[in-house]
Amino acid sequence: MLKSWFQSTFARLAFPCWDEPIYKAKFDVTLIVDEGLTALSNMVTTFTSIFICVYASKLFERYLNIENMISETKVNDKKVVKFATTPPMSTYLVAFAVGQLEYIEGKTNRNCTVRLYTSPGKKNQGKFSLEVGIKALDWYSKWFGIDYPLPKCDLIAIPDFSMGAMENWGLVTYREVALLVDPTKSSTRQKSRIALVVAHELAHFWFGDLVTMKWWTDLWLKEGFASFMEYVFVGANYPDFKIWLHFVNDELASGFDLDALRSSHPIEIEIDNPNELDEIYDNITYAKSNSINRMLCNYLGEETFQKALRIYLKRFQYNNAVTADLWKALSEASGQDIETLMSTWTKQMGYPLVSVSQKIDGRNRILRMNQKRFLADGTTDEKNSLWQIPITISVSSEPESIKERVLLKGFQQDVTVNDVDPKDWIKLNVGTTGFYRVLYSHDMLHALLPDFATKKIPVLDRFGIANDMFALVKSGRESAKQFLSLLKSSSNEDDYTVWSSLDSGISELSNVLSHYDPVIRSKFNKFIIKILTPVADRLGWEAKPNEDSQIALLRALILGRLGRCDHEETIKTAREKFLEHIRNKTELHPDLRLTIYGMMGRHYGKEGFQQLKEIYETAGFGEIERNCIVAMPQTSDTDLLKEVFEYCIQNGKIRSQDIIYLFYGACVNKSGQDFAWKYFKDSTKLLLQKFGGANSSLFQHCFRTSADCHCSSVMVKEVEDFVCSYLGADEARTINRTTKQIIESVHLNEQLLKRNADVISEYLAAADF
């Protein structure tokens, strides 16, 4: 299949153009293709003609006026396909695709034809995405107050596609695994992710295609809003996915992690060189931008937020805008100075840590709040960055409600919350909607913890407490003992969102301990097993009829962690289910498949690899193939790891776009991390060739994954030497920001271990482990 990809600066390689987003034009596209192939572009087909040779065909002159541009050689069994003129749009949105394709179709409420194209034999796997696409076009048209302006919309599933998806106006291209669903094989998580990806790309029809940023500095205007609107749409139309519960782990926490680094960057970032662009398609442009949109929407209210976006889109449709234009529309709709408020979030990097203490005065609670930049290494920000922070406050008598709203503008501010029972706890950042962390005074935190354990605190607030606590541990502001105590109190926790955050902390501690002392790591595993076993017993292995999607995800998370902690009973049961799956050719429950495959790859050596390899080669479905790629390299056997990587990469058994999953799988244990880093260095030339250069996000992901899990100054030196010795000067400049972030992450791992190794050892000893 042939397909185009012009974002950000590749249209110039296909046709002469002013290849910058500010220069919009109308495009006439004509393709000459083999007669038996389907040709697609942004607009509908207006003319198709089959011809035998260019001498005999006056159709070129009559319909295309390109006769003089065609080489005078005989061209058999070709056809000319001409497409209607596009609306004014930027060059990076021009697209075409050619191949042997089949499709299914439907229509929107305004009779726009929506088609989903696949390779032959796969079109029925597109039914769910087609449904999502049609719903999204109708819903966005109504929500934005502007109808989708093109006469058709095509979604196409592409087997080999380095990026996840691309929002070409009228012809959206997707990697197969991001579009195709099999009702018996697709996991709940994957189905929800597909809904988000489809909705994300179609949101771009308004944010990015209809209204485009003037320059890449304002890339967030399209990516941040498409990322936010995908959640608004899926939350409104597919409530069973409970998508806002996933938001905090997938978006908010990801933005927090990257933006806590000194090597982060502002949302509005100056771009002077095209090679710099690939480095900013990251969790600042997507996850942080998405999160501050959620914060602002909650601050203003959805009705005001929607009104502002309608003003913005109508004012700049078929044109270009900058961030200040958006702030102006939001100010008009709200009657507030939004530019002053939000510029603190987009023009400077980082985010605040709000420290809070209290004084009880009868039924009045006097809070003293201080803000400073949160840095993951625990150091002080020399710039004294200051934010305008929308603070929300709740109390234990009404934990779901916002008791007080405050806009914290200065470094310190006192706030009085009236009519609060002296025994009530007070919590900041209700629903964890704000892009800031909270450090409570000792008495305020310990008032919250009992209701955290009993789940009287709402789920998103429990997430916020857990996520903030581990970040504070990692930055040296809290002891690991505090986090371990929180874990110990969580055996009754039954929410996936909370456990997902807790599990991230478990994973980081487990990783650094594996680089330190196997004995302490083993004791830590036993501690985690004791906490998780009651949770696993309640969940069991079998899904119940009409089970909540969160329960299915929690089961996979808990059993997966028990397997990584070497829990024998869990591993044994997983093997039994896997062998039954092999013998009887039955399907594993899709939500448990990766968990079970991972245990086979990790604990059953050559036998596990051979069985997973056979499944991979016969699966014929993208999600299962990817599960196998992640599972096969999870062994700690270095010789077997070499065989797995050679099979997958040197022998070309997996697509280049999937190599990153091989690195993810290998890096779940220390042996795999050591192997993956050595392999990455030794195979740099091969990987650069497969990915098309160091500016490829896939190359950078492999670099990051294989390196930033380590935790020693020796590794820092190795990363620096690698960039100097293995890459050219231009390549090194291209990945400069990525390199700095890797080095900083390794330092953070090292500090986490140094600060807490003895603390963890003493805590486990005191608990008889």
Report the catalytic residues.
Answer: 201
Give the up-direction half-sphere exposure of residue 143: CA atoms within 13 A in the CB hemisphere: 20
Distance CA 220, CA 208 (A): 10
- What Cα–Cα distance (Å) separates residue 753 from each residue in 720, 744, 763? 22, 14, 15
Distance CA 436, CA 377 (A): 16
| 747 has binding-site annotation | no
Distance CA 531, CA 537 (A): 11
Contacts of 249 (CB under 8 A, 6+ apart): 463, 497, 500, 501, 504
Nearest to 760 by CA among 485, 574, 576, 545: 485
Contacts of 148 (CB under 8 A, 6+ apart): 108, 110, 112, 137, 140, 141, 205
Q: What is the DSSP string of 569-580?
A: HHHHHHHHHHHH
Take residue 20 and report the two structure tokens written for it: 């910058």
Q: Identify the residue whose tokens are 């195709």.
A: 180
| 204 has binding-site annotation | yes
- What Cα–Cα distance (Å) separates residue 340 from each residue in 42, 58, 324, 328? 39, 62, 10, 11
Distance CA 412, CA 44 (A): 59
Phi, psi of 314 (to 5 degrees): -70, -35
- What Cα–Cα distance (Å) separates residue 224 from each residue in 228, 231, 480, 720? 6, 11, 34, 32
Distance CA 350, CA 292 (A): 12
**Quick one: DSSP state of residue 261?**
S
Contact between 233 and 203 (Cβ < 8 Å): yes
Take residue 366 and report the two structure tokens written for it: 């006097």
Distance CA 132, CA 174 (A): 14
Strands 102-107 and 113-118: antiparallel
Take residue 660 and report the two structure tokens written for it: 């990153």
Distance CA 762, CA 520 (A): 10
| 265 has binding-site annotation | no
In the chain, count H helices and then E strands: 28, 22
Nearest to 158 by CA among 218, 103, 97: 97
Q: Report the binding-site residues for Zn(2+).
A: 200, 204, 223
Q: Report the binding-site residues.
A: 200, 204, 223
